[in-house]
Structures are given as structure tokens and as C-alpha cells.
Structure 1
Amino acid sequence: MNHSDTSKLPSEDLETERLRLNRRQFMAHAVAFMSLTMVGCRDLIEITSPDGASADGSNSLNSGSSGCRIADSISPDIEARTSFLHPGLLNTAADFERMRQKIDEGAEPWASGWAALTSSYAYSLSQPLRPTEEVTRPGNVASMIIDMQQTYAYALVWKITGDTRYGDKAVEYLDAWSSTMTSLTGNADRFLASGLYGCQWACAGEIMRTYDGWSPEGLARFQGMLSDIFLPMCRQFLREHNGTEWTKITNYWANWDLANMCGMLAIGVFCDDAEAYNEAIEYFTSGRGNGAIDHAVQFVHPGHLGQWQESARDQGHTTLGIALIGCFCEMAWNQGDDLYSHRNNRVLAAAEYVAAMNHRLPSGEFPELPFAPFRNVHGTSGEISGIGRPHGRAFWEVIYNHYVNRLGLSAPWVSRMVERHRPEGISRGGGDQPAFGTLTFSSGSPSGDTPPSGLTARIIDGAVRLDWWGSAFAEHYDVQRSVSTCEGYRTVATLGADETRTYTDNPGDGTWYYRITASTAQETLVSHEVAMVTMPGELIFHLPLDEGSGTHAADATGRTGGATLKGSASWGAGHDGLPCLDLPGADDACVKLPPNLLKDVSDVTIAVWVRVPSTPPRNSWLFSFGHNDVSYFGCRANQRHDTWADSMRCEITKNTSDYTSGIIHSHRFHPQQWLGNPDGTFDSGASKVGQWVHIAMTLKGRLGLLYINGEATNSGEDMPMAPFQLDDTPQNWLGRATNGWDPLFRGRLQDFRIYNRALSATEISHLANG
């Protein structure tokens, strides 16, 4: 559907479309205004000669855009919903009208999708009905799965053709189950059933809610079955994870969360339960479990390839996760909430990775993909799993339709999956996700004028790495660089359309601006987004912590509004004769830092002066950045390293506080002394208690270093996760952990600095001695 043409939409879908457009226009205008204010761009319109050369001779092509803007990777907030549009789960009224029209025309791929439905067992009107009072998984759940699929198929046929025989059959099934079923039980798998089947029952009911042959009593009874049996189980799992919420939350892989997120959201819409819907959306954006988007996509590799959380488990569950997250985002989209674009199209990043992982090349091999090892309660995952590879799950159309057909983006690996699995049909006894996606999700051909987008530029291992989303019809891409925001761009690299959309540049010191162009058979499309990078990196946050009074600590860089002292945090005497921050280790004493300080930061240096009156409490933190106790980055002042010795420890993880993806330990020290002998032996002369100590940690590429008083004491030589992988970090602190329950740090702090590069050993030494 072209979002700029709403003239042919039914009234209920017209309102949905207006919601989307208004929100997007507001965000685009706001970002453009703020960006131009920051960079002071004067001339937004690029003047080019017929051959594309600008007045200064550079290759600066005009896409017809009225301007350029600094790329912004912050995801807009999703507002809480109070009412719903119907029908509005997997399909809208406009979708069904399109299906009717395309089937009548015999157009592809709708004709093939319709044939997949009408040739399936679920099309038959003579199938037996199997309502069951007590459903168990494992156990007799297969009867419900078959009837559920049958009902959904009947509902589709009625909605598309108007044939009341199928409408009556769908109602017969809905009424039979709602008047019979009383419970859903079993082992832990019962929570898979609550989400997987609660979602699909709701989708069938949503299609039928306008059928005159379904009595108000029948509709209310079916809504009651979902609200009373399925919804509480979905909610219970997402809140408690079968009793493991605060012990081993990563025991449950991404698809467990996603199944129940889908169930809660779908039931919320069908039953007009805004609380359930909003809770599901909130979990998607900020949940603790593996199904939340920040955890489901464990790592973002070059070219916006998103490593899925279950990639090392097996491919059946991995592809199920993509099917479920596609279903979830489509239902939200039809209510006017765009989760597809969240975190720079993170869902597409995951889908492309999983699709590539399950595509067998003509050689018989699979594409070579990056993989970052990680740990959870199941152990260490070191490589992509070969179990079930390649997997034949057919639910790629929903992802393809949104990103390629609606938005005009390039999704080469997903496109291959669509070609391989068309038309998406149904398998008897399956039922993990809705069927017939070719028929229900296809919306036409993509736009050919979508420029590259989603450009990110990060300093990684001392160089600039660029990643972007491509255009559907691109034949090649040009990476362009300039010293000005909106003009003077020169091509520094050209990539073919089949190459991974990433490029690493070494431009030298200075401030540089990047953009991407895509060349199609008809025209050259210039991205409206510009990425700015200052090399070799900058001081991006600096708290001198020398105010001496009040509760505000100023950011000397001027980039943020500074920090706020909390609780009994106060001021004392610093190491250089100036005041410093004094944290007593009690009464909620800490410093609240601005959110998202490490957004888009890869290489990093964090440095601070520290003085402790005694050995810091175990698990107290000098600084921390993150979302909660599952996803964080920081430095513990004191952590038990093994049975006999403690250590200072810098760590980063997206899994849980017990299983980190990267760790740097300082030299071990005696439990009663802080920063004592490197070998852990007791020596009061080696103690730094009561002294000012300069502490710094750096991360460059995958190498982490920890410095004490300007000297490197230890390293983490293979840290696959960089701070930007944490995405948003609303919980940023000095003197406390992101979880809120670890002990507070006791001591004094001064001159806290963050650089978006790894300082050299010489530079660290200068900080420590300056």
C-alpha cells in the first residue's frame, strides 16, 4: 500500500493511515529541524549539472530532495492505546478488499495463494469438529490446533467470497470451543499453547466479528474464553517466566516470550482490552526476557545483520521466532503502531540474518555469516546451529511485504525465502503460526524510488564503519564523503547490490559527513540521511565533579544537561585541591547520568579519579549503563573473581547478570585490601585504600583494557559486544548498579570522562598524571 495515497481506503483504514502519516511526519520534521539547528546547514538544495557534477567538480547527485538531515537512530516512543480499529489484527478491511480484487483478476501471487487455501484440508466443509473440555500440552492439544486452523481458513474464505456456508462453519467452530473448553494445562509447554493458540484464535475471531450470523452472545462467550483462559497465562508467563523471573530468566528462549506477546496483543485487540495490548507493546520495547527486541537480536553485525537469540539452538525455533515477531509487528501496524521500524528496522535485521542462515547456496554450502559467542543458563553458544538447517517454515511473506512492498527497501535474503516458499500454505498438525501468508499479506510491487536509509557511522577499531539499508531496485551503491553536511560529496567506494551493505573508511582526522546513493536502471537515488563522524574520536561527556554545592553536576562538553546528585550524595575535598563528589554508600547516594550516553558508541574510554576509605562492598559499582539487571555495561569496584580472590571487573552483557558476554578483570587483590598486590597476596603497602587512584577502561574493537594509575593491569582480549549493542540505556549511574539492589559504592569520585574512542596508553598516562 502506498502511504501517500489514501483516497481508496475504507473509512476505518483511512483513520489508521492518517495516524501513521501524522506520527511519521511529526518525527521527520522534528529530527530535520533539530539536526539543522545543530549543524548550521545554510544551503539545503544541492545544485548539480546534467552529468551529476557539482560546481566544485565533486560527484554530487540530486535525488529531488529538498534537503539532508543528520541520521537519527533513536526510536520514537509508542503511545499507550485506549481503543482499537476493527478488523485490525493480521488484516484490515482494505486487505480483504485487495484479496477479492486480485483473486477476481487472477493476479499473482494472490491466485496462487488462493489456490493454496482452497486445496488445503482446511477448505473442506466436511471436516469433523473436535471441541475439548480440558486441553493439555503435551497431550491432546492437536485436536485444538486442527480446529483452530480450520476456523481461520473458514473465516478467510467467508471474508473474501461472502459465502455464508463458510461463515456459518466458522461460527460453529468458534461457538463449539467457547462453550466446551474450560482449561489449558500441561507442563511448561502450556505457556507456549497459551500464546501460540490464543493469538490464532483471536485472529479468527477478529475476522468473524462483523458476521451477521454470529450472535452477540456467541461473540461475548468466545471473548470470555480467551480473556479467562488464555490471556492470564500469557500475562503470567511474561511477568514470572514460570517461576524463573529473578533466577534464570534466560532459561526461556525468545520464542516463549514472543508466543505470549502475540497472544496478549491479539487478545487485547479482539477483546478491546487496552491494558493487555499496551503491556505486550511495552514488553517488546523494554522487557527483561529473550523475546524483547533488544534481547531477541543479540548482536547487530556489519550490514545490519541481526544475530537471532536462538541461532545457536536450532533452526526450527529460530524461524519460529521470525514468524512470531512478524505476526506481532503486523498486528501492531494495523492498529497504527510501527514496531517494524523500531531500533532502525531491527526486525528486518533479524529476518535477513535468519533467512541467510537457512538459504542453501547452489554449491550446497550456506552463506558465511558472522557469529558472536554468548552465554546463558544453557551454556556457551559458539556457532550457528546445524540442527534443522535449512528449515522449511513458511512465514516470510509478512516481513517481505512490509519492508519491500510497503517501504521499497531491499531484503535480499528474505526475498529468496519468499521465492522458495511461495505460496505459503498450511501443514496438518502444525499450527505454530497462521497460514496462507502469500494470500493475506501480499500488497503489490515495491516503489522504485526509495533511497538508501538507516545509515549508521561508528568508530570501530579506530576506523569508521558505515552500515545502511538498501533500495529494492538498486544495482549498486556509492559511499560518499564530504567535509560539509549538504554539499561537496565525493564517492569513496562502490558496492554491488548483492554485497553486504557495509563499508569501513579511514578518512584521517577531522569531521566527516557520509551519505549513500543507490543507482537503479532509471535513476540515482540519494539518501536524505547524513552521518557525521569526528576522527579520531571526541570527549563526548565530562563531569569535572567540582561544583562543591547543590545537586547538579555540569557536563563540561555542553552536549547534555549534566547529571543529578541523588539521596545523600554530597561534596568533599578532591585530589587536586578542588571539591569532589562524596558518596557515603547509603541513603540512596549516587549520581543519575543522562540517558543513552553510549548510543552508537563502539570504541570507548571511560576514566575517573577514585578514593575509597575502605575496601568497597562486594558488587558495588563505580559506574553502570543499561536498561535493567539483564542488559548493562559498567565497572564493579569489587567482585569475587574466584574462591580466594576479589577483583575490579568491567563487564557488558545482554543476557543476565550471571552470564556476561565480555569481562575485564583487574589484577586480583586481597579481599581485605583494595587494589593490592597483583598476585593476591596480602601487603598493606600495596593497598590503595585512602589514596586517590586513577581508573580507566578502554575498548577498541574487541580488545578491552583496564588501567590503574596510568598502567594497563589486565585485558579482555575477545569482547564481542560494544556499548551500542545495548541500544537505549535509560539507567546510567555513578555509584550504583542498573539493577537497583546491589550495594552502593562508598567513596569519592572526580573528573569522570567518556570518549567515543580508545585512548592510547600514553594518553591514559597523561590523564593519570595531569
Structure 2
Amino acid sequence: MPHPAASVSHGRTPRPALVATVATLTVALVAGFLAWPAARHATAAPGTFVHPGVTVSRGQLDFARDKVNAGAQPWKTAYDQMMASTYASLSRTPKPRAVVECGSYSKPNYGCTDEREDAIAAYTTALAWYFTHDARYAKKSIELMDAWSATIKDHTNSNAPLQTGWAGSSWPKAAEIIKYTYSGGWPAAGRFGTMLRNVYLPEVINGSHSNGNWELSMMEAAIGISVFLEDKASYDKAVTKFRGRVPAYIYLASDGSLPKTAPGSGLDTRDEIVKYWHGQNTFRSGLTQETCRDFTHTGYGLSAISHVAETSRIQGQDLYPEVGERLRHALGFQAKYELGETPPSWLCGGSLKRGLGPVTEVGYNALHNRLGHTMANTQKLTERNRPAGSNNLFVAWETLTHGDNPR
């Protein structure tokens, strides 16, 4: 007796045309199902952008301000640290340049440090405005942003994409707070937006196939700029780049014997991938593409990942479910050795260059405090390093803004 699946329509032999039709429909349905996740993520931009909404939200700012006003820790100490920094100085004089030229490791350094630090200062004084309601800080933030938007035309030399990414990550954070919380007016806000669109966005939006922290920092800038400009097309493009880069930056055992590669990277062989991963040929969950380079550059990459994920959450298109497991493993992996554990011989030949930087607060708060993941090593490192200050590049005051913040 034939198996029931071998007959159709009460046991009669199926007509060839019907079989072909069923087969075609089956292929189409399977193809459609497999394509569905990609289609679902094709539009990442929110229907309506949330402001302020780059890395830190109004709710997070309100929570932190209430804690500071109550004298609660660690927020009060973090606030005092920020206000005592040179970035919060009301006497700061901006140092804009028409052309910022940055070579490898900022050599030459024609405006590189000045631009990055003025951008951090604009963000710092924007935060100081929000926490104190002292209009002098808002005016200082505006002064810094206006000076650069009236002057800068270009970034040049080999580090131009990275420099643009770093400065371009801080500017929108400052601008979002000022534009959407300060009622005293910002007449040149439109010119600032034009600067972001014409000088910064074109330099970062297409990404980079250099070390992964480059592209991740560039996508952080592109996404922040897109939020400020309410540019949905650029937001979508940057998120697509980000989603391709994160799996190529952080390894999980589920990836197989080799790490994933970013779309268009041109890395086709094991030897090419091992070389790109700085000679590392044994892979464990949480290892990053730059772990064996040094922890400092790794920290840049992990920070950018957490910043993008945080912005996406604020904007209502949460990327933590997609990148959170990689970020959790990477933070824990690096934290273990940053805390002093001796590396095994299979890891970077048993020799590590530590110095992760103040980069764990945002990811730790999201993954441990909000989502409930156990992160013992990351927790220990985060609490040991509080209050987290600035890396003087694009990270600043994250114990204050994100430390144990439930918003």
C-alpha cells in the first residue's frame, strides 16, 4: 500500500502540471520564509525619531539628574568628576580648522585633538546644562558647535575616516540635548546640521575595511548624525553596515571553525582571516578581531557597538536582541583578562596588551541590569573603574549617564 504522502486527491496519481505547480509554490514559500528576516530588517529607521535620542535619552538624563540631586552614588561622584574636567570649563576657547589633517595615529596632528576634544566639550557642557539648568553651559555648548560649523570643510590624510567617526560620534549627542531641551534658542542649528550632512556623513556612511573598530566608530557617527538630521535612508544604510560588521568583529562558537567576515571584505581564506585577526588562529566566544592587537582598540569597537545598540533601543528599533549575545561574551572575555587573569598560551601567544578603557557601562547596564544576564567579570571591572571618565576620543561620562540606569 503506498504511503499517504505519495498520493494526492483520494489516491489518484497526480497530474504532472499539478506536481509542478505544488513544487513551484513550495520553493516560493521556502524562499519567502528564508528571506523574511532580511526583509523585516530592511527598514531599521523609526517612523518618528525620538529626541534627544543619540546614546542617551531624556528619561536616562532625568534619572541621573535626580540621583545627582539626591547625592546618590555612583552618580554624584561621576557628576563631580565631569564638572571638574577641562571639558566642562566655561572659559574654553574653541579651536576650529577649515581642514583637519590626521595621519596614522594622528601623525600629523593638524586639528585632530582639538576637534575631538571640542566635540567632547560640547557634549559635556550640554550635559552640564541639563543637570544644572544653568544657561551658561548651553551657550558654551552652542559656541563650540557654532565655531566648528562656521569653519570646517574637510578631513584629510589616512586617518580621516576614523577621525571623522570619532568627532562625529560626539557632535550629535551634544546637538540632540541642546536642540531638544534648551529653550533659549540656537539660531545656527541649521548650519550645524549642514556641517554634519556635508562634511561628516559622506566620510563615514560607506564604512571601511580597515580594522573593525574603524567601521564600528564610523557607523556610530553615521547613525547619530542620521538621528539628528532625521535622515531615514542614511540611518538604514548605516544599520545595515553595522549588522554586517558586528558578527565579523566578535566571534561566537556558533559561527563555526572560523570567524565571520564582513560583506565585501575580500577575506576568502583561513590564512587571510587569521592575519586579519592579528595572527590568532584559535577562536573562543568573546574573542574580537582586535583582541590580539591590543585591548585599547578593542575597547573602541565594543564601545561603538554598545552606543549603536543603545541608540537603536531609544529609537524603538532595538538591536540588542541581535548583537547582545556577542557583546556580552566580548565584554566578559576582555574583562577577565583586564582584571589580571593570566592569558593561556593559545590566546595571542600568551601575551596581551591591556587597557580596555572606560567602555563597559553602556553595554553592562543594558545586558545585565535591563536584560538580566549574569556578567560577573564585566560587573567587577565596571564597578572597579567607576566613575568612568573620558577616553578623550569619543567616550565620556558613562557612569553618570548609564550607570545602573533603568530607563
Once the 2 structures are TM-superposed, how far is the Cα of residue 83 of structure 1 from its aligned partner? 3.0
**1:153 and 2:106 matched:** no
Partner-residue secondary structure (3-state), 2:316: coil
Closer, same or farther: CA 93–159 of 1 in aligned 2, 3 Å:
same
Tell me whether 1:125 sits opposite 2:90 in the alignment: yes
Give the letter aligned to residue 327 of structure 2: V
Q: Following the alignment from structure 1 to structure 2, what is the Cα–Cα distance between the partners of residues 344 and 392?
A: 19
User: What residue number does 1:231 align with?
Assistant: 201
Q: How many residues align?
A: 334
Query: Is the aligned partner of 1:218 residue 2:182?
Result: no
Q: Secondary structure at the match of 1:231?
A: helix
Q: How far 1:330 moved relative to its partner?
A: 1.0
What is the alpha-carbon distance in structure 2 between the residues aligned to residue 282 and residue 323 of structure 1? 18
Report what 1:263 is aligned to.
221
Q: Please give the secondary structure, in 1, of the residue aligned with 2:253.
A: strand
Letter in 2 for 1:298: Y
The superposition leaves residues 508-554 of structure 1 with CA deviations (integer Å, 9 ceiling, x where unpaired) of: xxxxxxxxxxxxxxxxxxxxxxxxxxxxxxxxxxxxxxxxxxxxxxx
1:734-749 matches, within 5 Å, as none
Once residues 331 and 294 of structure 2 are traced to their aligned partners in structure 1, the CA distance between those partners, rounded to angstroms, is 15
User: 1:135 aligns to what SS in structure 2?
Assistant: strand
Match of residue 296, structure 1, among 246, 249, 252:
249
Q: What is the alpha-carbon distance in structure 2 between the residues aligned to residue 95 and residue 314 of structure 1?
A: 32
Paired with 2:406 and 2:185, the residues of 1 have a C-alpha distance of: 36
Out of 422, 437, 445, the position equivalent to 2:386 is 422
1:445-491 CA distances to partner (integer Å, 9 max, x unpaired)?
Answer: 89xxxxxxxxxxxxxxxxxxxxxxxxxxxxxxxxxxxxxxxxxxxxx
* Structure 2 portions without partners, runs of 5+: 1-36, 104-108, 256-283
Q: Which residue of 2 aligns with 1:675?
A: none
Report the counterpart of residue 160 of structure 2 in structure 1. Answer: 190
- Shift in CA distance, 129/113, structure 1 to aligned 2, threshold 3 Å: same
Q: Distance in 2 between matches of 1:155 and 1:228?
A: 23
Structure 1 residues 178 and 255 mapped into 2: Cα distance closer, same or farther (>3 Å)?
same
- Alignment correspondent of 2:3: none
Does the C-alpha gap of structure 1 residues 160 and 185 become closer, same or farther in structure 2, counting only changes over 3 Å?
same
Residues 1:360 and 2:360 aligned together: no
Describe the shift of the 1:262–1:384 C-alpha distance in structure 2 as closer, same or farther (beyond 3 A). Answer: farther
CA shift, 1:331, in A, is: 1.2
User: Structure 1 residues 413 and 75, CA, compared in 2 at 3 Å: closer, same or farther?
Assistant: farther
| Aligned partner letter, 1:127 | R
Is it true that 1:348 corresponds to 2:328 in the alignment?
yes
Q: Conserved in 1, the CA contact under 8 Å of 2:360 and 2:378?
A: yes
Given candidates 136, 146, 167, the residue that maps to 1:175 is 146
Q: Which residue of 419, 432, 437 corresponds with 2:398?
A: 437
Shift of 1:113: 1.1
Which residue of the partner structure matches residue 271 of structure 2? none
AA at the equivalent of 1:261: M
User: CA contact under 8 A between 1:198 and 1:267: conserved in structure 2?
Assistant: yes
State the 1:128 CA deviation.
2.1
Question: Per-residue deviation at 1:442?
Answer: 2.1
- Structure with bigger gyration radius: 1
> Contact 2:162–2:218 (CA<8 Å) still a contact in 1?
yes
8 Å CA contact 1:264, 1:276 repeated in 2: yes
The offset of 1:444, in angstroms, is: 4.5
Q: Is the 8 A contact 1:313 1:385 kept in 2?
A: no
Task: Tell me the amino acid that sits aligned with residue 159 of structure 1.
Answer: Y
CA distance in 1, matches of 2:379, 2:345: 17
CA RMSD of aligned residues (A): 2.4
Structure 1 contact 171–214 (Cα < 8 Å) conserved: no
Give the SS at the match of 2:156.
strand
Cα distance between partner residues in 2 of 1:385 and 1:342: 31
**SS of corresponding position for 1:136:** strand
Alpha-carbon offset, residue 392 of structure 1: 4.7
Q: Residue type of the partner of 1:124?
A: S
Question: For the structure 1 residues 160 and 75, does the alpha-carbon distance in structure 2 shift closer, same or farther, using more than 3 Å as the test?
Answer: farther
Contact 1:132 1:177 in 2 (8 A): yes
Cα distance in 2, alignment partners of residues 76 and 367 from structure 1: 42
Q: Tell me the distance in 1 between the aligned counterparts of 2:62 and 2:295.
A: 35
- CA gap of 1:264–1:344, structure 2 versus 1, over 3 A, is closer
- Contact 2:60–2:405 (Cα < 8 Å) also in 1: no
Shift of 1:357: 2.8
Bigger share in helix: 2
Shift of 1:328: 1.4
Distance in 2 (CA, whole Å) between partners of 1:386 and 1:212 is: 49
For 2:372 and 2:122, how far apart are their aligned partners in 1?
34
Which of 384, 387, 398 does residue 362 from structure 2 map onto? 398
SS in 2 for 1:417: helix
Q: For the structure 1 residues 212 and 316, does the alpha-carbon distance in structure 2 shift closer, same or farther, using more than 3 Å as the test?
A: same
Please say if 1:143 is aligned against 2:114: yes
Q: CA deviation at 1:208?
A: 0.9
Rate the CA distance shift 1:339–1:194 in 2: closer, same or farther, 3 A. same
- Number of the residue aligned with 1:116: 81
1:344 positional shift: 6.1
- In the TM superposition, what is the alpha-carbon distance from 1:284 to its structure 2 partner? 2.0
Give 3-state SS (helix, strand or coil) of 1:209's partner. helix
- 5 Å-filtered alignment, 1:68-147, equals 77-78=40-41, 79-81=43-45, 82-138=47-103, 139-140=109-110, 141-147=112-118
Q: 1:337 is matched with which residue? A: 317
Look up the SS of the partner of 1:149 in the other structure. helix
TM-aligned CA distance change 1:343 to 1:170, over 3 Å:
closer
The Cα offsets for residues 592-619 of structure 1, whole Å up to 9 and x where unpaired, read as: xxxxxxxxxxxxxxxxxxxxxxxxxxxx
Q: Hey, what does 1:327 align to over in structure 2?
A: 307
Whole-Å separation in 1 of the counterparts to 2:50 and 2:358? 28
Measured in 1, the distance between the counterparts of 2:311 and 2:350 equals 30
Identity %: 30
Q: For the residues of structure 2 that align with 1:353 and 1:284, how far apart are their CA atoms?
A: 21
Work out the CA distance in 1 between the residues paired with 2:324 and 2:142.
Answer: 41
Question: Cα–Cα, structure 1 residues 384 and 103, in superposed 2: closer, same or farther, change >3 Å?
Answer: same
What displacement does 1:191 show?
A: 0.7
1 or 2, which has the higher strand percentage?
1
- How far apart are 1:300 and its partner, in Å? 2.9
Matched, 1:312 2:267: no
Q: How does 1:229-628 map to 2 (within 5 A)?
A: 229-236=199-206, 238=207, 241=208, 249=209, 252-285=210-243, 287=244, 292-300=245-253, 305-342=285-322, 345-361=325-341, 366=342, 368=344, 371=347, 383=349, 386-387=352-353, 389=354, 391-426=355-390, 430-431=392-393, 433-444=394-405
1:347 alignment partner AA: L
